[in-house]
Structure 1
Amino acid sequence: EPAARPLAPMSAANEPAELPVALAAAVEAMEAPVLAPTVVPTPAPALNLVPRDDEELRQLRHEVAGMRQVIEREMTRFTDERLRGSAVRAAALDLMDEYGFDAGISRDVALQIPLDTEAHRGRGLMLGLLSRKLPIAPIDPLEAGGVIALVGPTGAGKTTTIAKLASRFAEAHAARDVALVTTDTGRIGAREQLYGFGRQLGIAVHEANSGSDLTQLLERLKDYKLVLIDTAGLGPRDRALAAQLQWLRAASQIRTLLVLPANTSFGDMDEVVRRFSAANPQGVVLSKLDETGRFGTALSVAVDHRLPITWVTDGQDVPEDLHRATAANLVLRLEDLRRAADMPCNPELNHAVA
């Protein structure tokens, strides 16, 4: 057999060596996913949610506040209607209103009274629930001693209260252990009243005319077990109030108590607490209980501002008309004070009883 002839080389147009590579490339191209053409979306016009000026912003806030008030008012009305659907709860609401309690506190207490509570047990349960809400100072500040300043508005009874506290402390210890300080040097009558109490009790009285005087004086009195400071009676909007409170803040060792007259309206007491908050009072003394029949108003302010109640005063006698505050005694006095306010004034009967 003749020898096989070698195959003639293919032309450059038909190169066998590059065929597998071309096929592979074609297969890969067929198997590759077909990508959609990239489309760049046209950005939507931005929404301008920000008011164009301050006036529009104020208007928006005003509308939102109005809507909130409408919703709160409707919720309150709905809650009141639901509460008054129960006879025992309705009776509790009426009684707390007579005592002078804030409407919010009254609703909270009424909601906790079970619907199946018997009518004759409603008042006792209501008083128990009220007593749990009262912030009572756990420790008598007199027991700790130190430096205590009484602050409060004009006519709150600070000077008389200081005399009662000093007398009570002197009975338990000695008059030489107590010192009295007045910063109310501008009014002669107020200063003389404290001096009169000091002479009566055998307790020394000192004066401080400025913050530096007060700091130096307290340094000299540091050996006394108790120092009571009688501050000037200033209205909550008096410009001199800020300066006086600054004196107290400058002396870090001073503990402050707010004297709040219970015979004042809720709004006025609330303003007093807010204005005197710069003194950072550690508690409150509720004074003039004998001059109000709606003691619940003062208790509501103490609850709202979470001010621990330390003492209450109910007259001018020193020190008999000063009482340590307890939750049970405070709620039990609600009815007594209301009835006393409703009693007709009969001078002949009062004279006969006396």
Structure 2
Amino acid sequence: VNRARFQIDPPLEDSAQLPAVTPPPLPVALQATTAPGDQASHAQDAVQPTEAAPAPMPTLAPAPALTLVADDAEIRHLRQEVAGMRQVIEREMNRFTDERLRGSPVRATALDLMDEYGFDAGIARDVAMQIPLETEAHRGRGLMLGLISRKLPIAPVDPMEEGGVIALVGPTGAGKTTTIAKLASRFAEAHAARDVALVTTDTMRIGAREQLYGYGRQLGIAVHEANSGTDLDQLLERLKDYKLVLIDTAGLGPRDRALAAQLQWLRAARQVRTLLVLPANTSFGDMDEVVRRFGAANLQGLVLSKLDETGRFGNALSVAVDHKLPITWVTDGQDVPDDLHRASAANLVLRLEDLRRAADMPCNPELNHAVA
């Protein structure tokens, strides 16, 4: 029977030229279960050109997890080095710019004047670069003042004309209470004392409430107190019929922990417009920090106070320009309400020279002596 099976299969052509094919040995498991007659068919299948199965990928041991250990001290040191390099580059660039600007006499004069007025060096460079090189010397100062006035952010509308609720915030000694008294007096003269209400949130500092109550008695205006954000919301709801409500907040330093809570009160009361009272007799760096710290109250304007106590308030104008805070009013004395003025770009730049000359003017010694 086996001989008959092999004779039926067709013979291979040119079998002499084909290489001998030796089938690979079967696995032990298959050798035990495969019939002898099936071995020939497996041999024929091996001759057919079939695609080789891909070799199995070797199994790799799992890589150890990478643990990045950040050295905080090294990172801080690296950041300090980068910041230092940036400062060096900026300083060299500014020095190069100053040298180039001072190559023009009219621009050099503008830089010197703005430095005397107290302006920040960056704003002084911006203004000087806008002065054309062919500008005549006698026209340089007027052109410089015009460029400064165009940079100043001035509130287009007096907030008192709109009425509503206005809160004044600022550091200790900025003049908030006196400024509120001036605003209340002006509004009472234009309307009536019964249309104005005063609110104080400074209930802890000795003498703070008494000062505002004293102004209220002089002006015939009611004064109210709020000890928390809830009290403030309820109080403003009761005072909603007043045309103008002025809030005098506690004077806090920019790093005072209580500052955040106070500013949160004002942010929670959506109907409150917050203005920052900034004393002009402060250094540029300190004023810049005050604006950044009090910015959490969503400042909508700026009140420049104590212009009479400085001869170089260009630094205050520089802060307003840098932070794009619209200037609403300026104060220059303690008289209520005379020493309060609506902010004007033209008036502010014209006062730069007047205040500088007044500051440089020598004081006349007292000639009167007591007679024994």
C-alpha separation in 1, matches of 2:167 and 2:333:
21
1:104 CA drift (Å): 0.2
Displacement of 1:63: 4.2
Give 2:323's aligned amino acid.
H
Q: How far off is 1:122 after superposition?
A: 0.6
How far residue 58 of structure 1 moved from its aligned partner, in angstroms, is: 4.8
Residue of structure 1 in register with 2:252 after alignment: 234
Counterpart position of 1:283: 301
Match of 1:316 in 2: 334
Give the equivalent residue in structure 2 for 1:185: 203
Which string of whole-angstrom CA distances, capped at 9 and with x for unpartnered residues, describes residues 138-164 of structure 1? 111001100000000010000000000
Deviation at 1:252, TM superposition (A): 1.1
Distance 1:57 1:245, change over 3 A: closer
Give, in angstroms, the shift of residue 68 of structure 1: 2.7
Per-residue deviation at 1:346? 2.0
SS of the counterpart of 1:294? coil
Partner secondary structure for residue 107 of structure 1: helix
Q: How far, CA to CA, are the matches of 1:245 and 1:219 in structure 2?
A: 19
Cα distance in 2 for residues equivalent to 1:67 and 1:88:
33
Which of 74, 80, 87 aligns to 1:69? It is 87
Query: Residue 164 in 1 paired to residue 182 in 2?
Result: yes
Which of 117, 125, 129 is matched with 1:99 structurally?
117
Segments of 5+ residues of structure 1 without an aligned counterpart are 1-11, 14-50, 350-354
Match of 1:135 in 2: 153
Q: Which residue number corresponds to residue 82 of structure 1?
A: 100
Aligned counterparts of 1:116 and 1:244: Cα–Cα separation in 2: 53
Distance in 2, Cα, partners of 1:61 & 1:281 = 31
- Distance change in 2, residues 1:60/1:211 (3 Å): closer
Which residue is 1:147 aligned to? Answer: 165
Q: Which residue of 2 aligns with 1:119?
A: 137
**Aligned counterpart in structure 2 of residue 250 of structure 1, from 268, 283, 304:** 268
User: 1: CA distance between counterparts of 2:197 and 2:184?
Assistant: 8
Task: Report the alpha carbon displacement of residue 71 of structure 1 after superposing the two structures with TM.
Answer: 2.3
Displacement after TM superposition at 1:101 (Å): 0.2
**Percent of residue pairs identical:** 89
Amino acid at match of 2:209: R
Deviation string, structure 1 residues 265-295 (Cα, Å, up to 9, x no partner):
1111111111111111100000000000111
Deviates more, 1:218-227 or 1:340-349: 340-349
User: RMSD value over aligned CA atoms?
Assistant: 1.8
The more displaced of 63-72 and 262-271 is 63-72
Partner of 1:206: 224
Q: TM-score, normalised by structure 2?
A: 0.78
Which moved further from structure 2: 108-117 or 239-248?
Answer: 239-248
Q: State the 1:53 CA deviation.
A: 4.5
The corresponding residue for 1:222 is: 240
Partner of residue 340 from structure 1, selected from 353, 358, 362: 358
Structure 2 unpaired stretches of 5+: 1-12, 15-67, 368-372
Q: Deviations over 1:218-268 (max 9, x none)?
A: 111000000000001111111111111111112111110000000011111
Deviations 1:57-98 (A, max 9, x none): 555544443433332222111100001111111111011000
Further displaced range: 181-190 or 103-112: 181-190
Secondary structure of the corresponding residue to residue 126 of structure 1: helix
1:58–1:188 Cα change, 3 Å? closer
| Aligned-partner SS, 1:341 | helix
Question: Which residue number in structure 1 is paired with residue 292 of structure 2?
Answer: 274
- Structure 1: distance between partners of 2:215 and 2:92: 55
For the structure 1 residues 68 and 52, does the alpha-carbon distance in structure 2 shift closer, same or farther, using more than 3 Å as the test?
farther
